[in-house]
Amino acid sequence: MNLSAEPDFIDPNNVECDCTFYRQYLLPCRHIFLADVHYGILTPHHWETYSFMFDESGFEVYESVTNEYIHNGIYDEIGAPERRALTCKEILESLRTRCYELEEDLVEQVGPEERTRIMEAWLASLRKSSHPYLTDENLDL
């Protein structure tokens, strides 16, 4: 592509292209880069948006890509969904670690039948206490 060629107009507020590359990969294509060379349309915000798309879901973004994902306003809050997902992962990992620790402690302290009873009771309690969070019943929207 000739960099001195006049690029097609690309709205700096809505940096998109109709070419196959852009529609398939949702990344700046040669047309967008050419417009950027001439008009400087790619801002740090645009790069944060591209980065966020992959930070949030990696290459899975290509498995279920829709225009709603790109334009649904999630970028008003760059990084917040990622932080919430990380917090959720940390909580789940802490629960898993606690389960393994409890099992190990019980191996040293009680017999197999008692260990089974205690672990089943612990898991039942965990299931009961987490049930409201596993359904939309108590979700305040």
Q: Is the dihedral of CA 100, 104, 109, 114 positive or negative?
A: positive
pTM for the model stands at: 0.42
Q: Are residues 55 and 101 in the same domain?
A: no
pLDDT of res. 62? 61
Same domain, 104 and 60: no
- Range from 33-37, 54-58, 67-71, 84-88 carrying the lowest mean pLDDT: 67-71
- Count how many domains the chain has: 2
Task: Write down the pLDDT at residue 108.
Answer: 87
100-122 tens-digit pLDDT: 889 988 988 999 999 999 999 99
Q: Give the 3-state secondary structure of residue 69.
A: helix
53, 26 Cβ separation under 8 angstroms: yes
- In this structure, the answer to whether residues 89 and 55 fall within a common structural domain is no
Q: Do 26 and 53 lie in a common domain?
A: yes
Residue 89 and residue 71 share a domain:
no
Locate 46 and state its tokens.
């645009």
**Domain-located, residue 43:** yes
What tokens does 3 get?
Answer: 């960099």
Whether 72 and 104 map to the same domain: the answer is no
Q: Are 73 and 114 part of one and the same domain? A: no
Number of neighbours of residue 54 by Cβ within 10 angstroms: 14
Residue that terminates a domain, selected from 36, 57, 77:
77
When mean pLDDT is compared across 10-14, 59-63, 106-110, the lowest value belongs to: 59-63
Q: Is residue 6 part of a domain?
A: no
* Domain-embedded: residue 11: no
The C-alpha R_g of the chain, in whole angstroms, comes to 25
DSSP-assigned letter for residue 12: T
Domain, as residue range, for 42 = 20-77
Q: Are residues 62 and 86 in the same domain?
A: no
Question: Do 68 and 86 lie in a common domain?
Answer: no
Residue 91 shares a structural domain with residue 129: yes
**Quick one: pLDDT at residue 125?**
92
